[in-house]
Amino acid sequence: MTSKYALFKIGGKILENEVYLENTISQLNNLYVTNVLDKIIIVPGGGTLANFVRSMDLKMNLGDEKSHWMAIHAMDFNGQELATRYKQIEVIEKIEDINKKQRVFAIFLPFKYLKKNDFLPHNWQVTSDSIALYLAHELSFECVYLIKDVDGLIRKDNSCIKEISTIEYKNLKKSNKLLRMDNDELNKKTSTPVDDYLPDLIDEYKLPCVILNGAEPTRITNFFFKNSVNHSSIYPSNN
């Protein structure tokens, strides 16, 4: 990746762990102040709030439409909480406010933008992973970075997959060769660190996705300084 613009989706397990969050933000700040990246856009995951919406949907049958927008509201709430803690990071709700800046380190709150630019399916296959990739496409960025508390896509032998195409990923998942990341009943359908719709979106927009471990203090910066061996990149399939 040659671009100095990057969108990072920070997952709920990072947002809700003080040490992991500090590790992540300090690394992003380092990339910004050293001019490795000129634009850093953070998209917050829905975390526990989105999972609460999911559980209420299961119990009360809220429906896809209501659940979808409530989960996106959870992303906005987490972004506002993040901005309260890290006051040096700007808060933005309009794509054009990002485009007109030469340099920016900001949290993007997606609800208002998605309400006006509603092109994603409204179901639980679409989570903040797919939303982040869609927003990276809207910004004409070259890649999206998903910051998780794992090194990437892990096989059942505990080895990390460094690079994989969407077709290869789907085949591995279908053959049940990927290690489950969630063991609870609520997340039974999400057996890997990315949502079900993401591979299709990667192919549609020809936009790769990189999973980085923000729980560790150097994994993100190591990737950008070309020292990383612990990450997973999912690339569009050729066909």
How far apart (Å, rounded) are the C-alpha atoms in residues 90 and 87?
7
Strands 153-154, 232-235: pairing kind = unpaired
Token pair recorded at residue 48: 């526990």
**Which domains are seen in the chain, by residue range?**
5-235 (3.40.1160.10)
Please name every residue paired with 108 in a beta bridge, in sequence order, or none if there are none: 92
CB 179 within 8 A of CB 173: no
Task: Please report the sign of the dihedral spanned by the C-alpha atoms of residue 55, residue 60, residue 64, residue 67.
Answer: negative
pLDDT at 167: 97
Q: Which residues of the chain have pLDDT under 50?
A: 183-191
pLDDT at 209: 97
pLDDT at 192: 58
The three-class DSSP label of residue 178 is strand
pLDDT at 3: 82
Alpha helix ranges (H) inside the chain: 12-15, 18-33, 47-60, 64-85, 95-99, 111-116, 128-138, 166-174, 198-205, 219-224
pLDDT at 182: 53
**pLDDT per residue over 189-236, tens digit each?**
334 579 999 999 999 999 999 999 999 999 999 999 988 778 999 999
Strands 209-213, 232-235: pairing kind = antiparallel
pLDDT at 179: 80
Q: Using the 8-state DSSP alphabet, how is residue 161 labeled?
A: E
